[in-house]
Amino acid sequence: MQRNSRTHGLLSIWCLPLLLFILATSLSLAQEKEKPAAKQKQTGTMVRVLCVQSLTEDDQEVILATKTKDGKWKEHGKVKLRSPFISQWIQIPIGKTHLLRKQGKEMVSLGSFKSGKKLHRAILVLMPDTSKKTYRINVINPEELKFQKGKALILNYSKILAVVKLGGKQKVVKPGQMRVVNIAANKDNMYRLLVSYVNKDKKAVACYDRFVSSNPKTRKFLLLFPDIHAGLRVFSLSEFGPFE
């Protein structure tokens, strides 16, 4: 019995370095597998396309793509645009990305935008340029604006001063300004959405007045455009998660 115990002890001591080597090798391989994923998170941007109005009446398929060094297109995702529309999240690399559409065997760029290392997630607001048959792309950084669930992002694309009320106090939004505001809903999750513009006499003239429901799990976009008759045209759209 003593001999067997001694032999077993010697074997255990001999096997210990081997077990440690196997464990270290396994950990090293696991870390190597994690490196590409971590690198991808740091170097890529997640984008979501918000189409205000499509260039075509029918659904238009566009491709998010980048150009390689040899001049070829590398596709990263496809989106079917319609009015209004907001897409799912799509992963793109850092740099210049184009919106392409197929025209026969060729690819035609409908617009482009740039993303950097610090841009982790972005909303691409597309607005049609009917004369050039392209899209103007406004890149929105939700993290920088602190645009979170239960809040609204107001974008004033007009040249006049706007006054907006979302259940709470009125907020002034200057021409070309982006502003994040809290939505103050009542117990029934309803709130008054009132949009006015300031005329030449510096008086607020109401042009949009609704009672709407609030969903604290969404983010709301409120885009203001110039309108010959009403002063301001209001585009409202809610965005569902995931946001992080």
pLDDT tens readout for residues 59-107: 889 999 999 999 899 999 999 998 888 999 999 999 999 999 998 889 9
> Cα(115)–Cα(94) distance, rounded to whole angstroms?
5
Q: Are 90 and 64 in contact (CB under 8 A)?
A: yes
35 pLDDT tier (thresholds 50, 70, 90): very low
Rounded to two decimals, the pTM is: 0.79
Q: Write the pLDDT tens digit of every residue in 114-149.
A: 998 889 999 999 999 999 999 999 999 999 999 999
DSSP letters, 206-229, are EEEEEEEE--TTSEEEEEEEEETT
Q: Tell me the mean pLDDT in the region 23-34.
A: 50
- Record the tokens describing residue 53, joined without a space: 């109005």
Q: Return phi, psi of residue 33, to 5°.
A: -70, -30
Instruction: Give CA 75 to chain center in angstroms.
Output: 18
Q: What region does 55 belong to: left with phi over 0, alpha with psi -120 to 50, or beta?
A: alpha
Give the residue ranges of DSSP H helices in 1-154: 2-43, 142-145
**Which token pair is 149?**
């669930």
Instruction: Name which of 10-24, 80-94, 183-197 the model is least confident about.
Output: 10-24
CA distance 138 to 191: 28
Cβ atoms of 189 and 152 within 8 Å: the answer is no
Q: Are 83 and 7 in contact (CB under 8 A)?
A: no
Residue 36 reports pLDDT greater than 50: no
